[in-house]
Amino acid sequence: MSQPLNKPAVAAAPGVLRLGVFGGAFDPPHLAHVALVEAAIAQLSLDQVRIVPTGQAWHKPRLLSEAIHRLTMSQLAFRHLPEVVVDPRETCRDGPSYTVDTLHELQSEFPAAQLYLLLGDDQRRSLTAWHQIEEIDRIAIICAASRDKSVSAWNEVSVAAQTSSTIPDKLQARIRTLDMPLMPHNATDIRAISATEQTLKGLVSPAVERYIHDHHLYRPH
């Protein structure tokens, strides 16, 4: 069972940089992404959070929007949080983009830092498919959003069986749970709504919505 984080509960030595790392497509970054980062900053007492839009996502069958759009939208979505730095490193890489490589780079750049890998609930469920997950667990403390409570009871059993049977018990026990409000936002649904030119109010920030509109993102070709 993962451990809840209702208050700063993950120890780091005094004076150590507490560095959160939150990767993803951010296509687009939405309000659930923002809520997760806000919860992590508050509950983990993070000094800095690196938002890392993925480059060539090895696990996504669709083409992502151009990196410049996802980087800019991320800057707009998180600009109210002084702890956040939008990190373009994965978009500059050739070939598949792996989280473990990013963590290794940050570990080299900040050798005295404690790294916290921030995950959405969907990312938590797919952990066993991640490249070198054991090495990720060695480098960083994994902190995930609580499970989406909108999952039906029938699916809850299916998801629990799927995750608990495949994630090693040792890793499962080490994952810390971030306490945050239920926000069943989904980037796939947001792109579909945007394609019909409906409002994205309450799904993304006003600045991100304007950017999507101004650059005609997610419109059918």
C-alpha distance from residue 11 to each of 8, 119, 126, 176, 177 (Å): 8, 19, 26, 12, 15
Distances (CA, A) of 157 to 60, 76, 153, 179, 181: 26, 38, 7, 21, 22
Q: Identify the DSSP state of 110.
A: S
Query: Which portions of the chain are predicted below pLDDT 50?
Result: 1-10, 150-165
Q: Give me the residue spans of the domains in the chain.
A: 16-185
The closest of 127, 207, 106 to 174, measured between CA atoms, is 127
Q: What's the pLDDT tens digit per position in 43-79? A: 999 999 999 999 876 656 678 999 999 999 999 999 9
The CATH homologous superfamily of the domain defined by 16-185: HUPs (3.40.50.620)
pLDDT of res. 96: 83
* pLDDT of res. 180: 87
Which pLDDT value is given to residue 182? Answer: 80
Tokens of 60: 């996504």
pTM of the model: 0.85
DSSP string covering 146-165: PP-TTS-HHHHHHHHHHHHT
Please report the pLDDT score of residue 170 as a whole number. Answer: 77
